[in-house]
Structure 1
Amino acid sequence: MRESNVIIVGSGIAALQLAVQLPRHLNVIVITKSRMKESNSSLAQGGIAAAIGSKDNPCFHYADTLEAGRNINNKMTVRHVTSKAPKIIQELTEFRCRFDRENNNKIQLGKEGAHSHSRIIHGGGDQTGAAIIECLVKRMGPNIHVLEEECVYELLINREGRCFGVNTFGKNSELHTFVAPHVVLATGGCGQLYRFTSNSRLATGEGIALAYWAGAKIKDMEFIQFHPTLLFNEGQAHGLISEAVRGEGARLVDEGGKYLMDGIHPLRDLAPRHIVAQAIYHKLHEGKSIYLDVRPVSNFEKRFPAVSELCRKNQLYERIPVAPGCHFLMGGIETDLEGKTSIAGLYAIGEAACTGLHGANRLASNSLLEALVFGKRLAQYIGNQKTVIKFNTSQAPKVKTAWEISSLSLPKIKDIQFQMMQNVGIVRTGASLRQQLEWIDSFELKKWVNIDFANLTEKQWQIISMLQVCYLITRGALDRTESRGGHYRSDFPLESEKWLDKRITHLRIERRKSYEQSKA
């Protein structure tokens, strides 16, 4: 067993921002299931939204965020994040983060969907995530210890219901235990639950499953953002084409060259993502193809080197076939403004968390901003804990099952991805969602989450955690009988006033009961 002051699970921008912002006297362990620079963050083509233009203002950024989120955002969170954005950019500039600049050396500001002003800061054209990670890694101090290829499979909860550490699968199937008074989940999103996705192969949503199994509240899981423009060739999605390409003038066209978004939304190609994604989906469903015409973009290869390389690999030029794919999760582990979850000692930041910033649909380039703002804010909160937190390492009793692991029957990952895309994708119906729940139930998920995960292989555990997150998304989508933002029900196609103030929260009841029994 290894002890530290803070355990951070994940190695994306939220995790690294927290690590470098924590006071240097704290011992910090960063646990990542892959290599440190292999994360969703490293693939981020989009930039950071911040109102730093001469004609812009955080109030405009605030209003745009609410409009994109269909007005169910947490307004306090939105106000905090948008007001902190200019300062975040200033700090990264002082840390010599590689931002793109105009000829006069001013930071270049791009335009993306649903933004009223040009306020998107990029690094390396379409390699902003990699630029920020490079900056943060250089600032890591000797108090930060990174453990690679270490997969957390369980959160440790004591008899008082406090999180005090994690259990992991290490290299060569070794089992390890790490304890700390502060445990932070920065595990990213869940794009790999879907057949078509812009996400890293690592984005399987296990942080949300870990928190749910431990008894934390999970919220807004039905709200999944599908990015409109994944390069789509020979029936497969091959990577993301940044929205910034449309911001620089590229247009969506059909097979005959007719502009797709004309007459659909006043912002046309830069309409909110769910509107553009649904428009493309309906054309594809009719058996037609949709293309992104990049000819209007000046200096396309120089401006977007990563996208250009992706096109070259697929031998596609000028008109690029596109399709929507899973891009971002607006829901996740419920937190407050400090990053605290409903379990003492457990925190969540980044895409794994649900802060209420995004509402029903994320405004473009607000995700990297959220990771940076909350990474810093949580570091300040933990750093201000004057007293040493003494925690009881006597674990709460677990709900046990008598099932034999030898009878474990699980689907293949590609089957999970196909079923989710088919039944819980861009367009949903009550029938498709019930069908998906029946499919998940056929694997008897409820019994398998009560076995000792230490007896499983890492692959078996991963599939069980993926099924758990699939269940939470599907259950939320079935319960919300309206369409709003990233959640579209063709049987309930309109927004409903009665749902405006309702949020769907998931809580593992049997885990809560075990806390009550341990206290009795």
Structure 2
Amino acid sequence: MEQRDLGGSPIIIGGGLAGLMTALYLAPEPVVLLSKAPLGIETSSAWAQGGIAACIGPDDRPALQIEDTLKAGDGICDEAAVKRIVSAAGEAIAELIRLGVPFDRDGDGNLAFGLEAAHSRRRIVHAGGDGSGREIMNALTRAVLATPSITVVKGCAARRLIVEDNRIVGVLGNTNCGPVLFATGRVIIATGGIGSLYLASTNPAGSFGQGLALAARAGATMADLEFVQFHPTALNIGASPLPLVSEAVRGEGAIIIDEHGERFMANVPGAELAPRDVVARAIWHHMQGGHQVFLDARQALGKSFPQHFPGITEKCRAAGIDPVTQPIPIRPAAHYHMGGIAVDAAGRSSVEGLWACGEAASTGLHGANRLASNSLLEAAVCARFVAESVAATISRRTSPRFDEEIARSSDPAPVRKIMSEAAGVLRNGPGLRDAIAALYPMIEANAPESDAALVGLMIAAAALKRQESRGAHTRTDFPDHDPALAHRSFLKFGEAVEIARELVPEAVG
């Protein structure tokens, strides 16, 4: 096995917004960035349509976005984290502008602000309309490739973190030329989300929680894993992954109807702009009743739809749908994970030398239900916090050893049906127990699906422990809030295994 001594330089795992921004903030310190795909490709950041929530408009202020975030988080946000991240929005937007992101402007040259669900102000900053993620990633990719201190290793998938005495000493990666052992004492996980654990998802196929599996196997504490956000308006065309129909379409007045033209959410508080979990459940219930569901923008936008949403228009027309004259078929799909690797204010995990940033991290910002467009904000803001912490940590030379046999590739496909049925929009105790029973043997098998099964098991275990309904986590057998559970949840991989052994001993023989 090839071994590379990085001389103490940190490794960033992941090529989305969080990873690239962290690398740029670390400059001129040398850093190695591992990316499975070419930069800007196959990342959730590049696919993001909704833009960045930033309380910097003339009628806005941080207190208002903080209030909206806490309300959406349904009682379990870390209020200090919310205040710290939201208050840094202006600085993050200014840095992105400096790096060349072409944010949309109004006729006077000022930043243009859009509205999304559960926001009390128009505060969503876009770039290229519904192509915000693409434009942001294009600018950051150019900046990274022009920065001599950043070494990008493409086509490299991190497979294990090497730990000694709860301290990072290296990373095992798979490359086109075989396994490589990178010696380093500082690692930043920025691998995105877990949507690909589900049959219906808006995430890239590789987003199945690989970073969470890495950290969990290394002994890191996870937080809020049970909270998976299902976007209510994925384009329902049977593709995998499903194209997203941005919440901004509803922000511009589009309504949700069924095949009879009934606006079945009209009497729900907030209607189409209610929090995402409310809208997703309403659509799911209606579909379970045998109905088809559509997003109708004909009256609100009509002929101007392509101008406002060129990317969505292209995806619709490719599927034979004209959003100018036809309602758009939609369904809920796994979209964002509020849970992840538990980190402190500087992005540090419970393992020394391991940080996490972006969707893979759980900062406490999102609570039980992410407020729209707070995700890219979190990644951009926390990248600076993480970079400052990494730079202030003394680098050490390490000599890692790794002799374990592991699967050379990862494949979440065998996990998707299990997770979709047991840990989807609606959950219950028997279904979650069945999922744990099915997933545990996959972990032990050391097969391509093992890492995905590990993440799925931990999500199912966390969902089983939370015996209430809150935010994006809905238990049909515990349909109400439990005031005693109005707090964040924390879990280690070993604890999830113990849950499997205690609750379904037949899963372990």
Q: Same fold (TM over 0.5)?
A: yes
- Are the counterparts in 1 of residues 162 and 168 from structure 2 also a CA contact under 8 Å? yes
Give the match for residue 148 of structure 2.
Answer: 142
CA deviation vs aligned residue, 1:189-248 (integer Å, no higher than 9, x gap): 010000000101120111101100011101111000000001113587631100011111
Give the match for residue 507 of structure 2.
Answer: none
Counterpart code for 2:468: E
Scaled by the length of structure 1, the TM-score of the pair is 0.89
Gaps of 5+ in 1: 450-459, 512-520
Percent identity of equivalent pairs? 37
Query: Which of residues 314, 335, 345 in structure 1 aligns to 2:343?
Result: 335
Q: Work out the CA distance in 2 between the residues paired with 1:95 and 1:215.
A: 36
- Are the counterparts in 2 of residues 191 and 327 from structure 1 also a CA contact under 8 Å? yes
CA RMSD of aligned residues (A): 2.1
Give the match for residue 504 of structure 2.
Answer: none
**1:244 pairs with 2:256:** no
Give the match for residue 454 of structure 1.
Answer: none
- Are the counterparts in 2 of residues 350 and 374 from structure 1 also a CA contact under 8 Å? yes
Give the match for residue 330 of structure 2.
Answer: 322
Scaled by the length of structure 2, the TM-score of the pair is 0.91
Give the match for residue 365 of structure 1.
Answer: 373
**1:389 pairs with 2:395:** yes
The within-5 A match list for 1:375-454 is: 375-385=383-393, 388-393=394-399, 413-443=412-442, 445=443, 447-448=444-445
Gaps of 5+ in 2: 498-509
The within-5 A match list for 1:203-282 is: 203-233=207-237, 238-265=242-269, 267-282=270-285
Q: Work out the CA distance in 2 between the residues paired with 1:18 and 1:64.
A: 27
Give the match for residue 491 of structure 1.
Answer: 477
**1:54 pairs with 2:58:** yes
Give the match for residue 101 of structure 1.
Answer: 105
- Are the counterparts in 1 of residues 117 and 247 from structure 2 also a CA contact under 8 Å? yes
Give the match for residue 44 of structure 2.
Answer: 40
- Are the counterparts in 2 of residues 237 and 323 from structure 1 also a CA contact under 8 Å? no
**1:186 pairs with 2:172:** no
Q: Secondary structure at the match of 2:129?
A: coil
Counterpart code for 2:155: E
Q: Work out the CA distance in 2 between the residues paired with 1:10 and 1:50.
A: 24
Give the match for residue 290 of structure 2.
Answer: 287
CA shift in 2, pair 1:14/1:303, >3 Å: same
Q: Work out the CA distance in 1 between the residues paired with 2:346 and 2:471.
A: 26
Deviates more, 1:81-90 or 1:360-369: 81-90
Give the match for residue 171 of structure 2.
Answer: 166
CA shift in 2, pair 1:119/1:412, >3 Å: closer
Q: Work out the CA distance in 2 between the residues paired with 1:91 and 1:251.
A: 36
**1:309 pairs with 2:295:** no
Q: How many residues align?
A: 484
Give the match for residue 465 of structure 1.
Answer: 451
Q: Secondary structure at the match of 1:11?
A: coil
Q: Work out the CA distance in 1 between the residues paired with 2:353 and 2:280.
A: 39
Q: Work out the CA distance in 1 between the residues paired with 2:233 and 2:488.
A: 31
Q: Secondary structure at the match of 1:18?
A: helix
Q: Secondary structure at the match of 1:324?
A: strand
CA deviation vs aligned residue, 1:267-323 (integer Å, no higher than 9, x gap): 111110000000000000011011000111251101111100010011112201100
Q: Secondary structure at the match of 1:156?
A: strand
Deviates more, 1:236-245 or 1:54-63: 236-245
- Are the counterparts in 2 of residues 226 and 273 from structure 1 also a CA contact under 8 Å? yes
CA shift in 2, pair 1:342/1:237, >3 Å: closer
- Are the counterparts in 2 of residues 126 and 305 from structure 1 also a CA contact under 8 Å? yes
Q: Work out the CA distance in 2 between the residues paired with 1:412 and 1:348.
A: 23
Q: Work out the CA distance in 1 between the residues paired with 2:98 and 2:412.
A: 43
- Are the counterparts in 2 of residues 48 and 369 from structure 1 also a CA contact under 8 Å? yes
